[in-house]
Structure 1
């Protein structure tokens, strides 16, 4: 058990006496605070959640349980302590200097990106999500902002949106419930096409995370979300995800053809045609193992038929893009 003084911002419990230094972020269901653990130790991070209902308490306990299950995964942040004060829950973590979204912003000042290093980062996140999927949970909120970074060390965070899969959409009530859940739990720019619709008769699976990973890999390489232009022009992201062939692939950052091929195999509208997380991990390993081979050499990865790539890879003009977006709207 723990306690928090109303006059002095201090969190006490589980052997910790944490002085709140500042609020870092406030979300719909949590507040993130930087705290001083005392003893000249480095600052730490506390995620505060309030269980107003039994459902909220169950979701908090589920998140804690997943951190415990993933405790040995080197790419998942460690839960240091869980302090409870009545309906308030405080999750204590090591503080990392930056998240991956902030890191990618700094990379925009460079002429090129370290594609190989970014692919290694991606492999780490895939490894974390693969273990999560082994427990039949989808993360549902995979995005660069939920990846912490310190040097070359990266950690996946925020399992508060994690949801047991698969989910069958059988009735109109199911449709409305899970569509609302997706809007609440999954950031729009990383939301899989099926989460926008939640059609009756469909089944939601962990493939929703694979889509989000594809969007992240695009960002790792292009330093922007593939649907940014649609969003900035006020277009429908839901409709844009139905047309991944409209994504632009030509970049000043000179992303290699083999990485583009990998992203294309992930950003597929039909979730059943996406690779499973295990298959994706194997594809990334093969790409890393064959990295020093030139793009002109025969590929051992077998991701996409070369003739199909040539036909699909033509860079569309701005006029074609704008016309397509107006048609989808």
Structure 2
């Protein structure tokens, strides 16, 4: 696993700006909190080089010129949580791809719990920081201004998401992300180029292929998905799993279709449908019926709508795999060269 068990941070609480935390032999000062969710917190941190100002970071390609990084702190209170964070570390460490957020450093340390004499663990994961926000942040800004990404920007963002997922799906051990959504996609501005796209948060990632051969296995998968897979982007087979089915990376392809729709219109397709008529998100997803919002002027091309519909086949056997999706997105990019539909658009979140 490569996890480091250390007492350096024992009794040490990272809760506010100015405090420091050790991750193995590296010391970081908290600048501010970036976010939180469940049992985890994400901080903007600056590495303190101290007596070793010229020491290169462990992963040289990701050295930060200003020493800034993102630090994820995970509270570990049960054996199940410990196994989950170890799995996240293992999976994150296995990737080397420009569209997947690399894990630079990690440690798991023992800390004193709230009850006297009780010791728990905390995990610290260090990543490169991207401060231009997530795809979700940028979509919210565009929506507030009544604006949309141009078609070519939508395609270049989506092509990079596809490239990252394909790498996950086709490695020696194929992994599924399981929680792909705009909030888990980082965007970084680049001058006169489309934004760089980086998929993050592998806390829900698992091996992509699963064989379900009983009702108890199906129910267990549904319960797991209810915790780990965001409902507006969850594939139908994870809502109502058959007792006999082979699950694979096409659960991510469903999430991809929802993410492409959201990149165009600012909301997932079945959230949009429910906003129109109300009802059950599960039933809306399982029906696969898509309603198209009024779009930009000029509107998105029909070929983009057909692409979304192709990925949102309720029957996973009819859904394309990542190889098919990547081939198709390249064809669409070739049809809409840069400059046809406006300049690259990326707002400050």
Please give the TM-score of this superposition, normalised by the length of structure 1: 0.82
The runs of 5 or more residues in structure 2 that have no matched partner are 1-5, 50-64, 111-120, 190-194, 338-349
Q: 2:48 aligns with which of 14, 31, 38?
A: 38
Match of 2:249 among 178, 181, 206: 206
1:228 Cα deviation (Å)?
2.0
Residue number among 298, 301, 322 corresponding to 1:277 in the alignment: 322
Aligned: 1:215 with 2:258: yes
Q: State whether residues 4 and 11 of structure 1, in contact with CA within 8 Å, keep that contact through their aligned partners in structure 2.
A: no
CA deviation map 1:295-318 (0-9, x unaligned) = xxxxxxxxxxxxxxxxxxxxxxxx
Contact 1:141 1:190 in 2 (8 A): yes
**1:145 CA drift (Å):** 0.5
Q: Secondary structure at the match of 2:289?
A: helix
User: What CA RMSD, in Å, does the superposition of the two structures yield over aligned residues?
Assistant: 2.2
Structure 1 unaligned regions, length at least 5: 293-329
Question: 2:25 corresponds to which residue?
Answer: 15
Matched, 1:94 2:137: no
Give the counterpart of 2:284 among 230, 236, 240: 240
Q: Which has the higher helix share?
A: 1
* Residues in 1 aligned to 2:102 and 2:285: alpha-carbon distance in whole angstroms: 33
1:136 alignment partner in structure 2: 174
Query: Which residue does the alignment assign to 2:37?
Result: 27
CA-CA distance at 1:111 after TM superposition: 4.1
Contact 1:46 1:92 in 2 (8 A): yes
Partners of 2:218 and 2:243 within 8 A in 1: yes
Q: Whole-Å Cα distance in 1 between the matches of residues 323 and 155 of structure 2?
A: 16
Identify which range, 221-230 or 179-188, moves more after superposition: 221-230
**Higher relative contact order structure (alpha carbons within 8 Å, sequence separation ≥ 6):** 2
- Secondary structure in 2 matching 1:227: helix
1:231 to partner: Cα distance = 4.3
Question: Given the two structures, how large is their TM-score scaled by the length of structure 2?
Answer: 0.77
The residue that corresponds to 1:150 in the other structure is 188
